[in-house]
Amino acid sequence: MSAKILSEGEIKAALAKLPQWSIQNVNRVNLLVKKFGFSGFTTATKFAATIAPIANKMNHHPDLHITNYRNVRVETVTHDVGNKITTNDIELAKKIQAAYDKLSDNAKKFKA
């Protein structure tokens, strides 16, 4: 998938459609980030595992961090264009968000 580097305005427009996703600067690199909250460790790890086939199909792999045993923090940026946010990052975020939205409310009962 060809990745287009997004302008600040394009990123802001995309974020308006991605609830609670944000841009965070980590070590001088802007990352597209969201922390998802779950009811427990098992649910959090299952969600992290559901991201793997999505990322593999896109050949675009986010960093995943399980924190406080029930949160999954997703960070994505496109490395091969100089660590910029691209259309691939937005598309990946949309697919991850859609996977989360399909989960039961019980699985998501803890808000990150």
Range of the domain at 31: 8-101
**pLDDT of residue 109 exceeding 70:** no
The number of folded domains in the chain is 1
Residue 64: inside a domain, yes or no? yes
Residue 18: inside a domain, yes or no? yes
- 29-67 tens-digit pLDDT: 999 999 999 999 999 999 999 999 999 999 999 999 999
Residue 2: inside a domain, yes or no? no
CA angle 1, 9, 88 (to 5 degrees): 15
Residue 111: inside a domain, yes or no? no
pTM above 0.85, yes or no: yes
**pLDDT of residue 1 exceeding 60:** no
Residue 1: inside a domain, yes or no? no
- 13-23 tens-digit pLDDT: 999 999 999 99
Residue 47: which CATH number? 3.30.1360.20
